Amino acid sequence: MTLDALFLALLIVSSFISIDVGYCKFTLQLLTVFLIANFLSLADGLIVIALYIAMGLIGIPVFAGFGGGIAYAASPTFGFVYGFFFVILLNHLFSDVLLKRMGNELWKSLIGSSVSLIALYAVGFTHGYLILTLLKGKSDLTLGAAFGLFIAPYIPFDIAKFVIASFITSRYVNVLLPSRRIHFNEIDSTNTYLKKNYLVYKNLSFVDASYQKKGKGRLGRKWEADKDESLMFSVLIKDKKLLQNAPILSLVAGSAVFKYLSQIGLKNVSIKWPNDIYVNGKKICGILLESVSHEKVDAVIIGIGLNVNQETFPEGFYRTPTSIRLETGSTMDLRDIKKDLYRIIKEEILSLKEGRSDYVKVINENNYLKDEKCFCTYKGEKKEIKVLRIDDEGDLVGIIDGDEKKIISDEITFE
């Protein structure tokens, strides 16, 4: 809402900066509208435009040249005002749907703005022509003359506006926009949702659901949890520097979950490399990392399932999982957990970006498998491994067949 109010104020102020250029006034309104389309969600953008028009029509002088009042609707230039709705709609249609797979924010914005400008011209021109010919007595006005009045003088200025808006968007969209937090009552998978819609949301956006019908685990396994008894969510990573460290993001997330569970008083919390959290030897949390790639890695989604209030689990587990409720005897508020855990995860991820993450230290001090001998499948063969530590790159170091080896997560599966 803060950004909505800021852009509404900016739209009003930009309408006051006006210069007479031909029949219409030159203002910075359209530049602001392009920014609204690029920075706000579709719903928020339409709301801002609706509020602006409503303020003007009830008499507040917010239109160009300090215009206002219901009579302004009969102005030949009013079509260029309500045409802002089409700018917002078409920008989002092209950016979020038709150009969804285009990773370059600048080109997405330029193409979307170009199409929406043509639509604005069509709406404004039609309105102005009809008002002049039907209401203002200019029945002899030709289409060519109307084009010269409403469109031609402004084309260079309007192109400059959307180019400027596009450059501002490509440079600052991931700085100015807040991370989104989205909740679903029911969804197939929060990871799948973000994989399909990652271009729409900003870095560190958070999606959770009361129930996932097709929750995912590592190696194609299913993650099952009863509705409103566990926390199931995904975090979107789009920051370029973080994407360079994509393989260790699950470890950083694991470190964050460990810290949260320790803070709320759980004892004997440990981390099983590369993606599980255990309490008293029982699994309480799983982490799944998935990427979106088109020639390069465009985004990474961190999926996390945390057993909170669940007391019973499906059969088939080698060892029955546990939950916060089973460990503490208390029912937890999912909303509080969601808020606190997201804050800690966000802090941990940002600390990784800034080069001050302590995830290696945390995992090595609380390694579920440290100094344990266990069986695994390593490079397709059954092996026994003694786990030693994880290194500074997040890889596992262990002894297999008498030799110390560095192992990445794709090479090994524990029995």
CA distance linking residue 3 with residue 296, whole number of Å: 32
Do the domains spanning 2-176 and 181-365 agree at the CATH topology level?
no
Q: What is the SS3 string spanning 225-241?
A: CCCCCEEEEEEEECCHH
The residue extents of the domains of the chain are 2-176, 181-365, 373-414
Contacts 24+ apart (CB under 8 A), 7-10: 7/32, 7/35, 7/36, 7/39, 7/40, 7/48, 8/48, 8/51, 8/52, 10/35
Contacts of 317 (CB under 8 A, 6+ apart): none
Q: What is the pTM of this model?
A: 0.62
Our CA dihedral for 401, 407, 411, 415, rounded to 10 degrees, sits at 60
> In 79-142, which residue ranges form alpha helices assigned H by DSSP?
79-82, 84-92, 105-130
Class of domain 2-176: mainly alpha
The pLDDT value given to residue 21 = 63
Single-letter code of the amino acid located at 119: A
CA distance linking residue 253 with residue 302, whole number of Å: 8
The pLDDT value given to residue 363 = 93
**What burial class does residue 247 get, using C-beta atoms within 10 Å of its C-beta: 0-12 exposed, 13-18 middle, 19+ buried?**
middle
Place of tokens 């003088």: 153
Could you give the 3-state DSSP secondary structure of residue 253? helix
CATH code of domain 181-365 = 3.30.930.10
Single-letter code of the amino acid located at 137: G
CA-atom Rg of the chain in angstroms: 28
Pairing of strands 276-279, 230-237: unpaired
What is the separation, in whole angstroms, between the first and last Cα of the chain? 50
pLDDT tens-digit readout, 224-254: 666 778 899 999 999 888 998 888 999 999 9
Low-confidence ranges of the chain (pLDDT < 70): 1, 20-24, 95-106, 108-109, 170-179, 200, 214-226, 316-318, 415
Contact 27, 18 (CB under 8 A): yes
The pLDDT value given to residue 283 = 92
Contact 166, 30 (CB under 8 A): no
Which tokens in the block code for residue 166? 């596009």
The pLDDT value given to residue 251 = 94
Contact 75, 131 (CB under 8 A): yes
Contact 292, 215 (CB under 8 A): no
Pairing of strands 230-237, 269-272: unpaired
